[in-house]
């Protein structure tokens, strides 16, 4: 029904346009022939002028509606576009544990480094205890969380850490009966230490990995 009405309205406007053009053409031809419009034809001339003024109002809305429909169809075919997110100027708040880990300087003394690692563990939800100095039996820290016990061998080195640290952590795991043995350093590990860790199950980590200790199994 809507399509039928639209077609009828379009034909009506087309007829009005055609009649107007014919009348205007007739007046032009009469003007060129030297016979201007008579006083009786003045109302007809006024009607022609009025029709010429109304024609744009009849056709422009139709054209604009067609353009809007075409745009909607094109947008549906293209699919929804993800709007770019505006960058926020306000800085994101960092967790306290991350701020403390980055803000505090890592001590160079070995015993101070062990206490520093224990403090970082407690910031991440562990209950950490530093073992007694020379009698640590291979593990410097015993940490507990959610029924798990892990043992950590701390190495404050700028260079490479070798097999000895892996062996100490492996023996300390058996002595202290912990679930997981870990070596944490500020340096890096030799290829030999990495190979031995794969055989013994000792994890080799950097101080940056303290926040991910709960993922170890």
Concatenate the DSSP letters of all residues of 45-60 into one string.
HHHHHHHHHHHHHHHH
Looking at per-residue pLDDT, the higher value among 147 and 4 belongs to 147
Confidence of residue 76 (pLDDT cuts 50, 70, 90): confident
pLDDT at 207: 94
pLDDT at 101: 45
CA 31 to chain centre: 72
Looking at per-residue pLDDT, the higher value among 72 and 211 belongs to 211
Residues of the chain with pLDDT > 70: what percent?
58
Confidence of residue 100 (pLDDT cuts 50, 70, 90): very low
CATH class of the domain whose range is 96-215: alpha beta
Confidence of residue 165 (pLDDT cuts 50, 70, 90): very high
Q: What pTM was estimated for this model as a whole? A: 0.52
Tens digit of each residue's pLDDT (9 = 90 or more) over 7-61? 776 667 666 666 776 666 666 556 655 555 555 555 555 555 555 555 555 555 5
pLDDT at 34: 57
Helix (H, G, I), strand (E, B) or coil at 105: coil
pLDDT at 102: 47
pLDDT at 87: 62
Tens digit of each residue's pLDDT (9 = 90 or more) over 129-156? 998 766 668 899 999 999 999 999 999 9
Concatenate the DSSP letters of all residues of 75-106 into one string.
HHHH-PPPPPPPPPSSPPPPPHHHHHHHHSPP
pLDDT at 215: 83
pLDDT at 68: 76
Overall average pLDDT of the 166-192 stretch? 94
Phi/psi of residue 123, nearest 5 degrees: -65, -25
Rounded Cα distance, 76 and 101, in Å:
50
Tokens, residue 38 = 């008579």
pLDDT at 77: 72
């Amino acid at each position: 029904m809507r399509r039928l009405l639209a077609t009828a309205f379009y034909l009506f406007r087309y007829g009005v346009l055609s009649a107007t053009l014919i009348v205007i053409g007739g007046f032009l031809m009469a003007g060129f022939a030297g016979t201007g419009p008579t006083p009786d034809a003045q109302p007809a001339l006024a009607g022609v002028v009025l029709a010429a003024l109304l024609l744009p109002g009849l056709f422009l809305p139709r054209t604009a509606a067609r353009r809007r429909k075409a745009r909607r169809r094109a947008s549906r075919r293209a699919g929804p576009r993800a709007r770019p997110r505006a960058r926020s100027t306000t800085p994101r708040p960092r967790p306290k544990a991350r701020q403390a880990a980055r803000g505090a300087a890592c001590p160079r003394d070995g015993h101070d480094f062990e206490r520093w690692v224990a403090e970082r563990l407690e910031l991440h939800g562990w209950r950490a205890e530093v073992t007694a100095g020379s009698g640590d039996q291979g593990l410097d820290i015993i940490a507990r969380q959610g029924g798990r016990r892990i043992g950590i061998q701390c190495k404050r080195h700028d260079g490479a850490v070798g097999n000895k640290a892996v062996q100490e952590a492996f023996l300390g795991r058996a002595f202290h009966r912990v679930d997981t043995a870990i070596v944490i350093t500020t340096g890096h590990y030799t290829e030999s230490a990495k190979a031995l860790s794969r055989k013994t199950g000792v994890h080799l980590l950097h101080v940056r990995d303290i926040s991910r200790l709960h993922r170890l199994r």
